[in-house]
Amino acid sequence: MRIVIVGDGKVGYALTEQLSKEGHDVFVIDSNPKVLQNSMETLDVMVLEGNGVSLNVQIEAGVPESDVLIAATSADETNLLCCIIAKKLGCKHTIARVRNPEYADHTEFLKTDLGLSMTINPERRAAKEMFRLLQFPDFLKRDSFVRGRVELIELKIKEKSPMLGMKLSDLYSTAKVKVLVCTVERKGEINVPTGDFVFQQDDKITVAAQTIDLVTLIKNLKIRNYKINEVIIIGGSNIAVYLSELLIESDVEVKIIEKDYNRCLLLADLVSDALIIHGDGSVKETLSSEGLQNTDALITLTNIDEENIILSMYANHLGVPKTITKVNRIEYSEIFREKGVDTMVSPKLLTASEIVRYVRSIDNNAENAVLNLYSIANGKAEALEFQVDDTIKNTNVTLTKMNLKKGILIVAISRKGKIIIPTGNDVIKIGDLVVIVTDLSHRIHHLNEMFQN
């Protein structure tokens, strides 16, 4: 497909990188020639210097003949206007990044009356991700499929875990619920384990299970399950606002430390039930005076990745049970994971994954659309959800007899409301919802692409 991206900042670059890897014809518009030069040289895409709102610039970039325009500048109004112009020019699909909380309640209006195909708010998306992780604090990552009835969760095998030294084939006898181990990350390498795989300390495993079985799974695997009662947030960004609202609704005490006084005044109006502290959250004395050592969780939301990482490492050193670290650059995430910074959330990557899912869905016909897509195993694999229709091959064939491509695993099947964590004797049928996990050697747009030719 031909895709035009307006804005070559953090989100725009992440989108350009992912979509160009998927084989799309990507054209980038930005007013900064330096960032355009970098994208052109490193990603091999077409670029155009100019204002994405300009009618002439959009025509020069080929927007009227394009399949998708994605507006990802730092200004919401610019993004909305870019999409309106693109739609009038004949672009089939338009996607706008909209960050202002004031627009959050107008999503349907933006889609219906302005003709937008999709709006996405990176900060709200990141806040929801963080909130879900705080519900089960020992989970490093948590993604939902099949309308919330199937979960893919990432866990770290710790020193006293009953899984230490256990073979995968013996897992059910301890877990007492049906689970499927999709991937194991060990020393930076990703494995798709077989039955004789033996778990070791510090392995990070991605497990598929029914949502209703999570509590039993946690209990039998002796995973810590404690309620978060108090959270300290460093940085009063929009993510902090969205997250605070979710936490307060769940009766969690929230304390936000923000060093900009005017922002503190605004936060006091936006989240009146949170305690707003005017101070520098990167200063040890401030953290100590606000009781960091006694809190249940620390969320670092400053605009500086290095500061967020160091603060999370310090909180881990003090024994804070849970830390969540906002990062934009994840190139060095594996190094920091080894230092105890396990749970990282990247708004730009969440946004990019959501938009890539939408692009893949419109790349097929509606019946074969990708319903959900998540990056897992530290970005080295993907989990996708599809609907099975009469165009899908190998229905009613047992999984052991399916000729699946190497690196692809069927991890869950939903049939008439019943969830199946499959074994080799299960089959897929027309009407099923299917969740698969694949490494990045495959870019699955259609369910039939998981089979060998």
Q: How far is Cα 372 from Cα 384, in angstroms, rounded to an integer? A: 5
Residues 388 and 278 in one domain: no
- CA 298 centroid distance within chain: 20
| Residue 287 belongs to a domain | yes
Q: Of 288, 320, 352, which residue constitutes the final position of a domain? A: 320
The mean per-residue pLDDT over the stretch 17-23 comes to 89
Residues 216 and 236 in one domain: no
The CATH number of whichever domain residue 403 belongs to comes to 3.30.70.1450
**DSSP E strands: which ranges in 157-268?**
179-186, 189-191, 204-210, 230-234, 253-258
Residues 261 and 204 in one domain: no
| Residue 125 belongs to a domain | no
Question: In this structure, is the dihedral angle defined by the CA atoms of residues 158, 161, 165 and 168, taken in order, positive or negative?
Answer: negative
CB 437 within 8 A of CB 382: yes
pLDDT interval class at 102 (50, 70, 90): confident
Domain that holds residue 27: 2-120
* 3-class DSSP assignment, residue 80: helix
Residues 6 and 113 in one domain: yes
Residues 169 and 195 in one domain: yes
Q: Of 220, 252, 270, which residue constitutes the final position of a domain? A: 220
Residues 302 and 371 in one domain: no
What is the radius of gyration, based on Cα positions, of the chain?
Answer: 23
Enumerate residues 6+ apart whose C-beta is below 8 A from 34.
none
Q: Of 190, 220, 250, which residue constitutes the final position of a domain? A: 220
Joined together, the tokens standing for residue 108 give 């349907």
The pTM (predicted TM-score) of the whole model is 0.85
Q: Report the number of distinct structural domains present in the chain.
A: 4
| Residue 310 belongs to a domain | yes
Q: Is the pLDDT of residue 32 over 90?
A: yes
Question: In this structure, is the dihedral angle defined by the CA atoms of residues 246, 249, 251 and 256, taken in order, positive or negative?
Answer: positive
Residues 215 and 309 in one domain: no
| Residue 333 belongs to a domain | no
Residues 146 and 204 in one domain: yes
Between these two residues, 361 and 294, which has the higher pLDDT value? 294
Residues 212 and 234 in one domain: no
* 3-class DSSP assignment, residue 372: strand
| Residue 135 belongs to a domain | no
Residues 22 and 92 in one domain: yes
Q: Is the pLDDT of residue 110 over 80?
A: no
Report which listed range, 101-115, 332-346, 373-387, 388-402, is most confident: 388-402
C-beta atoms surrounding 217 within 10 Å: 23
Burial of 405 (0-12, 13-18, 19+ CB in 10 A): middle
| Residue 16 belongs to a domain | yes
Per-residue pLDDT, 111 = 75
| Residue 184 belongs to a domain | yes
Q: How far is Cα 93 from Cα 336, in angstroms, rounded to an integer? A: 39
pLDDT interval class at 158 (50, 70, 90): confident
C-beta atoms surrounding 75 within 10 Å: 15
Q: Is the pLDDT of residue 444 over 90?
A: no
The mean per-residue pLDDT over the stretch 156-184 comes to 92
In the sheet with 2-6, reading across from the earlier edge strand, the strands are: 46-49, 25-30, 2-6, 68-71, 93-97, 118-120
The CATH number of whichever domain residue 9 belongs to comes to 3.40.50.720
Residues 212 and 236 in one domain: no
Residues 7 and 111 in one domain: yes
Q: How far is Cα 204 from Cα 381, in angstroms, rounded to an integer? A: 13
Burial of 439 (0-12, 13-18, 19+ CB in 10 A): middle
| Residue 127 belongs to a domain | no
- CA 36 centroid distance within chain: 26
pLDDT interval class at 432 (50, 70, 90): very high
* 3-class DSSP assignment, residue 396: coil
